[in-house]
A and B are shown apart, each in its own frame.
Chain A
Amino acid sequence: MRTMQTRKENRVKNSTLSPRWLAVALASLGMAAPALAQEDPIKVGILHSLSGTMAISESTLKDTVEMLIEQQNEQGGLLGRQLEAVVVDPASNWPLFAERARELLEQKEVDVIFGNWTSVSRKAVLPVVEELNGLLFYPVQYEGEESSQNVFYTGAAPNQQAIPAVNYLHDQVGVERWVLAGTDYVYPRTTNRILEAYLKEEYGVADEDIMVNYTPFGHSDWQNIVSEINRFGSEGKKTAVVSTINGDANVPFYRELSNQGIDAADIPVVAFSVGEQELSGIDTGPLVGHLAAWNYFMSVDNDDNYDFIDAWIEHTGDEESVTNDPMEAHYIGFNMWAEAVRKAGTTEVDAVKDAIIGVTVPNLTGGYAAMMPNHHITKPVLIGEIQDNGQFDVVWQTPSTVAGDAWSDYLPGSRDLIADWRKPMACGNFNVAEGTCGGSTAAEEAEAALAE
């Protein structure tokens, strides 16, 4: 905010340097004014990769937001104005994400952005969104350890996916040995770290009963690792694999599992990154019974969900197209934003930011999602087993919704941190033990105080 104001002041100062330019500017402003009538559409920025490696996951999210915008417009738009999608393509390139976000906010002047998939792209966009005071809805499950006043996390935090999944495996399946297998990047690293701490703390799991393994992106030769998992799992204790393996590496992984004869009933694999869309590229016959933990499954028996699926199939024109968890996250995020705009009566970022906390909208699994003060939402956690038709069958779910935790209680660095963006605290990383707001916000406030 503060930087935003100084930026504007700078501009004003610069233009006052030359009165002649000011006159020209005023003239052009005057000419532009009639065009800026109330009927101006509300601009919704969509920042999802449409080319490059991430297009495989992200392009459907772009379509989802477009569909939601269409639906909203059919219902008469928002505040009597139509919505307009502004689509840009960051091409799976992280610096380009930052650049495109800047373009959306600065050049295209969008009111809100729905976008990003990977953590690194979100990290790249974050400083831009904070600097230009934008709104970003991030729909994918992630590693947590973040809370920005400009970002709303509609995907799951680790306590909304990983921890309940482990609870299920321990309590219902009786798992005693754990393989934590993941692709080597921040999400699996953090999730596994949290899980390791959690397993040791809550269930007293011994070190030798946890095997951690990391593989590079797109890893395709799983022979050794699967055979190791097999050995690890045949020591007489019930073993499960908690997989944070990402995207393309999953197909060869599951293939190797089934070929080496590892059955879900012997060593179940619970995945956090495998959804309906990923399954649509896999022959699921041999995978029946392996698990996934999400907050939504396409197979959920609920009328809102069936309507959503029908609309989606109509939108894509493809009978075979599937829905998945991040799509539901966008559905929730979009409706929350729309509700907040209605509540605030404006699309102005600060007003919407304040209005959205506490907003509750129905999700697609028959419950409600509420926006918490830490900019995460409440979600039910569902455990599904893979079926041979590429769908999941829900075998367990949390009795009530779980509120997303921005800062994990199981990491030493963040144990004492909470986020609460309501005034007067308005802090993304408040240290409860020390009673201070850490990091950037504190430093900036101190600076601001000095300046005054």
Chain B
Amino acid sequence: MRITRFLTAWLTVLLLAWLPLAALAQQDDPGQALLESLDTRAYDDKAAAIQTIAASEDERARRWLETLLDGKLQRHKDTGRFVIVIDNSGRNWPAIDALTFEDAGEISRRDLDRIGINNALRNQLRSVLAVIDLYAESADVRLASAMRLLGEVDETLAGSIDDLIEEEPDAEVRRRLTQALAIYRVENGETEAVEALAGSLHPRVRVALGRAAASDDPILAQSAQAGLDDIEQNLRINRAAETLYFGLSMGSVLVLAAIGLAITFGVMGVINMAHGELMMLGAYTTWAMQQLLPGQPGLALILSIPAGFLVAALAGVAIERSVIQFLKGRPLETLLATFGVSLILQQLVRTVISPLNRTVITPEWMSGSLVLNDALSLTLNRLYVMGFALVVFVGLMLIMRRTRLGLEVRAVTQNRAMARSMGIRATRVDIMTFALGSGVAGLAGVALSQLTNVGPNLGQSYIIDSFMVVVFGGVGNLWGTLVAGLSLGVINQVLEPWAGAVLAKIMVLVFIILFIQKRPRGLFPQKGRAAEG
């Protein structure tokens, strides 16, 4: 058995070795030889091949290198033909010919050999592509490649960059190219180049100056050190700003998770332990939307906002009608019942969908970060979530203060009997309030799908934190929730680098416990008779 298999393997190898030669003989495209040189096990040889391709005048070179970078450049095991795989999901992959770019049909993945690359090659490819891109039309592309070359400039590049700086029309690109060149010069011991690096917060600059500061040349070392001190000073401020951003971002997640709870718990007095699972439903709605609209994750995400709200709100109505309405005035028992609901919902998702996490794609416009300077950039997904939290908060405030529903809710909260005698249908108000709180939980879930796992355990990891926020802020007070969430987020992030993630969390919990002893009704206690209930 084994021997025959071994023999067939050998035969295939022999055949494979032969076939490309035959193919080459048939079509003497120089590209074939170039690609041929990539098909080797040794990464060193591949690196050399990449340089050859980059240096060749072939106009397909860029596309080859790009597909190589994407891991889509593959070779047919039997025919030795090079193809570019268009889509590598599933078992059969559509492909095009790598030389002619003509359609090559679907090929079984068993028959394809990938031209593998590793991180070193990936780096090399990016640098090579960056050099090519320095001559690109678009200023953005040139800027990106100039950024990439910071600290990567070598002797051969230095000369051409010098020329490019002269010709470069875009000021920003010019600045970057100058920096890139200056780093190279500082590393070669040119003291005057230090000046060009002043004020830059880029880590590569810092590294270069750091090395220069340790050099034997006292003049160079001194001026580098001066530049470095300046940078360090600046970095400290940036770091503080960054921590604040982290804190606010974490806080806004807490606010989002807790604010729905603030409504159901604070206003209705219902302790909804299934709140986390309602968030989970929102997150799964996002996933489902992305499944329904393949290839358009952004649109799906936007559509999930109303959809997530609706799904969670409907689930909320179902919970209210089937469970909570029977437990009026027994808050502790709503806790138990809704806890049961949460278990059921979790298991439902496990059984119906899958116990595994689901992939939710981050749309293009939400990935990456907003670069303020070289040391401070704000991650876009969290920035969006912060904005979203703010919008939800303002929206809820408006609903509670400016609409009839809000008025009725406040009336029912303050004095149920009186409100009913004034003609307010308290039951309807209950349903609406609970639906609103649940819907907001759904919104939180949509936002969370961009930050964390979408899986059956999503809700559990947020429920305790949410309760802490509501209790800390003061039950029944949306402002309290906002302040509490944001401040807990900031406290946590300030403590974290110093105490570690686990201790920071424990300290925050202990802080809340102690705080509640001091002020049993939270930061912003409810005033008036309603508070006595």
Give A residues with C-beta under 8 Å from B: 51, 53, 55-56, 59, 172-174, 184, 213-216, 218-221, 223-225, 227-228, 231, 234-236, 248, 251-252, 255-256, 258-261, 264-265, 268, 277-278, 280-283, 285-286, 288-289, 291, 301, 303, 306, 319, 385, 387-389, 393-396
Most buried by B among A215, A224, A286, A389: A224
In the complex, the answer to whether B360 meets A283 with C-beta atoms within 8 Å is yes
Q: Judging by beta carbons under 8 Å apart, are B5 and A259 in contact? A: no
State the total of A-B contacts with C-beta under 8 angstroms: 152
What would 9 more interface pairs be, CB under 8 Å, given A224-B243, A252-B452, A261-B377? Answer: A51-B347, A56-B357, A56-B455, A219-B501, A224-B497, A259-B382, A281-B453, A288-B71, A395-B118
Contact: A234 with B457, CB < 8 Å?
Answer: no
Q: Are A388 and B452 in contact (CB under 8 A)?
A: no
Are A214 and B500 touching (Cβ within 8 A)? yes
- Across the interface, which residues of A come within 8 angstroms of B70, CB to CB? 288, 388
Picked from A223, A255, A394, the residue with its CB within 8 Å of the CB of B493 is A223
Contact of B90 with A235 in the complex, beta carbons under 8 Å: no
Q: Do A281 and B359 have beta carbons less than 8 Å apart?
A: yes
A174 to B124, CA, bound (A): 14
Near A by CB (< 8 A), chain B positions 327-382 give 347, 350, 355-362, 367-369, 377, 379-382
Residues from chain B with Cβ under 8 Å of A387 in the complex = 71, 88
Which chain B residue has the least Cβ–Cβ distance from A49?
B355
- Across chains A and B, which 9 residue pairs bring their CB atoms closest together, nearest first? A281-B357, A234-B203, A236-B207, A259-B379, A223-B246, A395-B118, A265-B123, A251-B453, A389-B88
Asked, given contacts A251-B357, A387-B88, whether A227 binds B380 with beta carbons under 8 Å apart, the answer is no
What residues on B are CB-neighbors of A248 within 8 Å? Answer: 357, 453, 455, 457, 461
Question: Nearest-CB distance from A293 to chain B (Å)?
Answer: 14
Q: A281 to B502, Cβ gap below 8 A?
A: no
CB contact list, B296-312 vs A, under 8 A: none
Contact of B502 with A56 in the complex, beta carbons under 8 Å: no
- Chain B residue nearest to A234 (CB atoms) is B203
- Which residues of A lie under 8 Å from residue B493 when comparing CB positions? 221, 223-224
Contact B71 A259 (CB under 8 A): no
Check B355–A59 contact: CB distance below 8 A: yes
- CB <8 Å contact, B356 and A277: yes
- Identity of the chain A residue whose Cβ is nearest the Cβ of B489 in the assembled complex: A221
Tell whether, in the assembled complex, residue B380 and residue A252 are in contact, meaning their CB atoms are under 8 Å apart. Answer: no
Contact A282 B211 (CB under 8 A): no
Shortest distance between the CB of B370 and any CB in chain A (Å): 10
A-B contact pairs, 23 of them (CB 8 A): A56-B357, A172-B43, A173-B119, A213-B500, A214-B500, A216-B502, A220-B452, A221-B492, A223-B250, A234-B206, A252-B451, A260-B377, A261-B377, A280-B357, A281-B357, A281-B453, A281-B454, A283-B362, A303-B5, A388-B70, A389-B89, A394-B116, A396-B118
B252, chain A: closest CB distance, angstroms: 11
CA distance A373 to B77 in the complex (A): 41
> Please, which residue of chain B has its CB at the minimum distance from the CB of A362?
B2
Task: Report how far A227 CA is from B378 CA in the complex, Å.
Answer: 11
Chain B residues positioned under 8 Å from A264 (CB to CB): 119, 122
Asked whether B210 lies within 8 Å of A236 as measured between CB atoms, the reply is: yes
A231 to B457, CA, bound (A): 32
B129-171 near A? 1/0 per residue, CB < 8 Å: 0000000000000000000000000000000000000000000
Binary A-proximity of B102-133 (CB < 8 A = 1, otherwise 0): 00000000100110101110110010000000
Residue interface mask B223-244, A partner, CB < 8 A = 1: 0000000000000000000110
A209 to B497, CA, bound (A): 18
Q: A258-B367, A283-B361 are in contact. Are A251 and B452 (CB under 8 A)?
A: yes
Does the CB pair B356–A214 fall under 8 Å? no
Return the contact of B116 from the options A53, A261, A393 (Cβ within 8 A).
A393
Q: Is the CB of A225 within 8 A of B501?
A: yes
Q: How far is the CB of A258 from chain B (nearest CB, A)?
A: 7
**Binary interface profile of B, 480-500, with partner A (CB < 8 Å = 1, else 0)?**
000000000000110011001
Contact A223 B249 (CB under 8 A): yes
| B455 contacts across to A, CB distance below 8 A | 56, 248, 281
Q: Which of A55, A174, A251, A260 contacts B355 (CB 8 A)?
A: A55
- Given known A252-B451, A261-B369, A281-B454, contact A385–B118 (CB-CB < 8 A): yes
For A172, the chain B residues whose CB sits under 8 A away are 43, 118, 120
B367 surroundings in chain A (CB, below 8 A): 258-259, 286
CB distance from A234 to the nearest CB of B (A): 3
Within the assembled complex, what's the spacing in Å between the Cα atoms of A184 and B500? 11
Give bound CA distance, A264 to B71, whole Å: 14
Inter-chain CA distance A360–B127, complex, in Å, is 47
Residues of B within 8 A of A260 (CB): 369, 377, 379
Q: With the chains together, A319 CA to B502 CA distance in Å? A: 40
Chain B residue nearest to A53 (CB atoms) is B457
Residues in B whose Cβ lies below 8 Å from that of A55: 350, 355
- Closest Cβ–Cβ distance, residue A189 to chain B (whole Å): 13
Is there a chain A Cβ closer than 8 Å to B521's Cβ?
A: no
Q: Is B505 an interface residue (CB 8 A)?
A: yes
Name the residue of chain B whose CB is nearest to the CB of A281: B357
CA distance A59 to B380 in the complex (A): 36
Q: Tell me the nearest residue of chain A to B112, going by C-beta.
A: A301
Least CB distance from B144 to A in Å reads 12
Min Cβ gap A82→B in Å is 25
For the complex, give the distance between the alpha carbons of A396 and B119 in Å.
12
Chain B residues with Cβ below 8 Å from A259 are 367-369, 379-382
Q: Are B250 and A236 in contact (CB under 8 A)?
A: no
Q: Please encode chain B, from 73 to 93, with 1 for each CB lying within 8 Å of some chain A CB and 0 for all others.
A: 000000000000000111100
Contact B242 A220 (CB under 8 A): no
Tell me the nearest residue of chain B to A267, going by C-beta: B119
Q: Which residues on the A side are within 8 Å of B362 (C-beta)?
A: 255, 283, 286
Shortest Cβ distance from residue B115 to the other chain A in the assembled complex, whole angstroms: 10
Q: How far is the CA of A357 from the CA of B419 in the complex (A)?
A: 79
| Nearest A-chain residue to B85, judged by Cβ | A389
Closest B residue, CB atoms, query A224:
B496
**Docked pose: A277 CA to B354 CA in angstroms:** 12
Residues in B242-261 with C-beta less than 8 Å from chain A: 242-243, 246, 249-250, 253
Q: How far is the CA of A278 from the CA of B113 in the complex (A)?
A: 25
Residue of B nearest to A222 (CB): B501
Residues of B within 8 A of A216 (CB): 501-502, 505
A255, B246: Cβ atoms closer than 8 Å:
no
